[in-house]
Amino acid sequence: MTDIKKDQLNVQFEGEDLDQESDLEKRIVGLGVHPEYARWVYENTNPADIFRKPEALDDMLVIDASYGNFAGLFASSLLAEMGAEVIRVEPPGGDIARKMSPYGMMIKDTGLPYLVEGGRNKFHVTCNLQTEEGRGLFKKLVRKADVLIETFKPGYLASMGLGYENLKSENPGLIYCAIHSYGHFGEDAELYGNQPDYDIIAQARGVIMSVTGEPELDPEVPQEYKRPLKHGNWMGWYVGGAWAAYGIGLAMFYKRKTGKGQFIDCSPPEGLLSISNYLIQYYHMSGNEMPRAGNYDYAVFPYTYVKCKDGYTFISGFTDPNWAALCEIMDRPDLQQRFPTIKERLTPENQPVIQHEIEKFTENYTSDELLEMITAYSRKPDKKGTVVTGRLETPRDVLERDHWKDRMTFVIIDDPHYGRLLVQNSSFKAMTLTPGRIKWICRPVGADNEYIYQKYLGIGKSTLKNLAEQGVL
């Protein structure tokens, strides 16, 4: 039996002792217009009750054969959070994704990104697909599975007899999800599919990167800074993984009705293209490419981040009534007269002027002071409109904020292999019946070989030892 047991894992939520009322009640209700509703939601979705509730996907078996690709890892992590049994298959030396880490920071054999996204709730086995014996073991595992996730070059597994057509003949219910930036057919898949597949490729092809960066139309920005910027996270991988998990869920729903599996060709840039707002349509209609806007927005403005005494804060007041309200709060009736309608405020050349005029006001106050000022204005019976603000937060700000502690957005886990670590809680933690959960953080390379190969293939210790000596495991 695996050495992961519930009594070995000390899961601690980053929040207040739930047995103590103190001011927790006030924080739960907050500024809610319906206190009883807030209490009902808290009582029925309280993440402290997660482990007393069932799991939605506890009858799903997933094989994750991702390699060097967090899109596949994120997809299987989402499924694992919801209860799927995920078997993470790595080569004998481990996945290169374990080595990707800021400044080379490692905890034992694993970097921070893999600990956050790569290993949670997953059993880890090794299997050398370069060997005939390894391919045979892999086939036998997939025979038992509902889902296979892979991120290899298009056609790579098929060339070894492990493609969808090969595997579905022995497992007609298999859901085979292949993730690659170029997809698995088309001209670009043939031209570029043989090169490594990285997040930055997905970002570059997904168009959003082309409009991310310092504003091209702001004369105060030096010309050398006006160039595309990638996202601060691995957004291409995350979007690709999220869409993959969603597609797998839909395919599983269909399988439960019909018994039939299917092939899913998931291209992360297409995921980015699907959330690219109006960029493609604007070009299609006008023949012009949308310029990089930075913190400006050519559809709604002001809708921007501005400097304040203690950092940056968000300010929104883009409709005519809301713009009038913002000008009144700032005591700047001249701005309302100068830019009276949405048309003037959406003129790209005007937006830097408006931005800097707003900052002349906001730089004199902290983000909390601005919030208090705007909240007080919102309660005036003669207010002209609604203004919204919100502080731009750093990791320190997030971990110190009571709101996230009360919602138990982070958990501290005493992991038997990696020690005491803080990680994000499941995004699906606040569900009344089947919430997601973090059961363990990660496992070392091949830590579950004995348990998984015995459970599913009936292979004992001595055989496993021989296979390891032969380089199969």
- Banded model confidence at residue 35, pLDDT cuts 50, 70, 90: confident
- Banded model confidence at residue 2, pLDDT cuts 50, 70, 90: very low
What's the average model confidence in pLDDT over 153-166?
A: 96
Looking at the structure, tell me whether residues 442 and 386 fall in a common domain.
no
Q: 441 near 421, Cβ under 8 Å?
A: yes
| Residue 68 structural domain | 61-275+433-462
For residue 74, pLDDT beyond 90: yes
- Banded model confidence at residue 5, pLDDT cuts 50, 70, 90: very low
Instruction: Say if 18 falls within a structural domain.
Output: no
Q: What is the CATH number of the domain that holds 192?
A: 3.40.50.10540
- Banded model confidence at residue 39, pLDDT cuts 50, 70, 90: confident
Instruction: Say if 1 falls within a structural domain.
Output: no
Q: 9 near 443, Cβ under 8 Å?
A: no
In whole angstroms, give the CA distance from residue 252 to residue 436.
18
Structure tokens at 65: 């054969």
- Banded model confidence at residue 19, pLDDT cuts 50, 70, 90: very low
| Domain limit, last residue, from 392, 421, 451 | 392
| Domain limit, last residue, from 392, 424, 453 | 392
Instruction: Say if 370 falls within a structural domain.
Output: yes
Q: Of 249, 240, 239, nearest to 62 (Cα)?
A: 249
Residue 335: enclosing H or E segment and its boundaries? helix 333-338
Instruction: Say if 410 falls within a structural domain.
Output: no
Looking at the structure, tell me whether residues 325 and 209 fall in a common domain.
no
The residue among 19 and 269 whose pLDDT is bigger is: 269
The side-by-side arrangement of strands in the sheet containing 388-391 is: 303-308, 311-316, 388-391
- Banded model confidence at residue 31, pLDDT cuts 50, 70, 90: low
Looking at the structure, tell me whether residues 312 and 266 fall in a common domain.
no
Residue 389: enclosing H or E segment and its boundaries? strand 388-391
- Banded model confidence at residue 194, pLDDT cuts 50, 70, 90: confident
Looking at the structure, tell me whether residues 381 and 332 fall in a common domain.
yes
Exposure on the CB side of residue 167, measured as CA atoms within 13 A: 31
Q: What is the CATH number of the domain that holds 348?
A: 3.30.1540.10
3 state DSSP class of 14: coil
Looking at the structure, tell me whether residues 206 and 315 fall in a common domain.
no
pTM for this structure? 0.91
Report the share of the chain in percent with pLDDT over 70.
94
For residue 13, pLDDT beyond 50: no
How many domains does the chain divide into? Answer: 2
How many CB atoms neighbour CB 108 within 10 A? 11
3 state DSSP class of 253: helix
- Banded model confidence at residue 324, pLDDT cuts 50, 70, 90: very high
What's the average model confidence in pLDDT over 464-469?
A: 96
Exposure on the CB side of residue 154, measured as CA atoms within 13 A: 20
| Domain limit, last residue, from 361, 376, 392 | 392
Looking at the structure, tell me whether residues 358 and 213 fall in a common domain.
no
Looking at the structure, tell me whether residues 188 and 332 fall in a common domain.
no
Structure tokens at 61: 């078996």
Looking at the structure, tell me whether residues 125 and 83 fall in a common domain.
yes
CA 104 to each of CA 78, 109, 417, 473: distance values in angstroms, whole numbers, following the listed order: 26, 11, 19, 27
In whole angstroms, give the CA distance from residue 64 to residue 295.
38
Looking at the structure, tell me whether residues 313 and 374 fall in a common domain.
yes
What's the average model confidence in pLDDT over 62-86?
A: 98
Q: 434 near 426, Cβ under 8 Å?
A: no
For residue 98, pLDDT beyond 80: yes
In whole numbers, what is the pLDDT of the chain averaged over residues?
92
Provide DSSP, 77-95: HHHHHTT-EEEEEE-TT--
- Banded model confidence at residue 193, pLDDT cuts 50, 70, 90: confident
Instruction: Say if 307 falls within a structural domain.
Output: yes
pLDDT tens digits along 330-359 = 999 999 999 999 999 999 899 999 999 999
Q: 288 near 282, Cβ under 8 Å?
A: yes
pLDDT tens digits along 206-258 = 999 999 999 998 888 999 999 999 999 999 999 999 999 999 999 999 999 99
The residue among 42 and 244 whose pLDDT is bigger is: 244
Looking at the structure, tell me whether residues 121 and 258 fall in a common domain.
yes
Instruction: Say if 27 falls within a structural domain.
Output: no
In whole angstroms, give the CA distance from residue 88 to residue 464.
17
Instruction: Say if 22 falls within a structural domain.
Output: no
- Banded model confidence at residue 15, pLDDT cuts 50, 70, 90: very low
Looking at the structure, tell me whether residues 115 and 243 fall in a common domain.
yes
Instruction: Say if 285 falls within a structural domain.
Output: no
3 state DSSP class of 126: strand
Structure tokens at 344: 């003037």
What's the average model confidence in pLDDT over 74-84?
A: 98
Length of the chain: 473
What's the average model confidence in pLDDT over 391-406?
A: 92
For residue 303, pLDDT beyond 60: yes
Predicted pLDDT at 18:
42
**CB neighbours of 88 closer than 8 A, spacing ≥ 6?**
64, 76, 118, 119, 122, 123, 124, 125, 443
Looking at the structure, tell me whether residues 226 and 327 fall in a common domain.
no
383: left (phi over 0), alpha (psi -120 to 50) or beta: beta
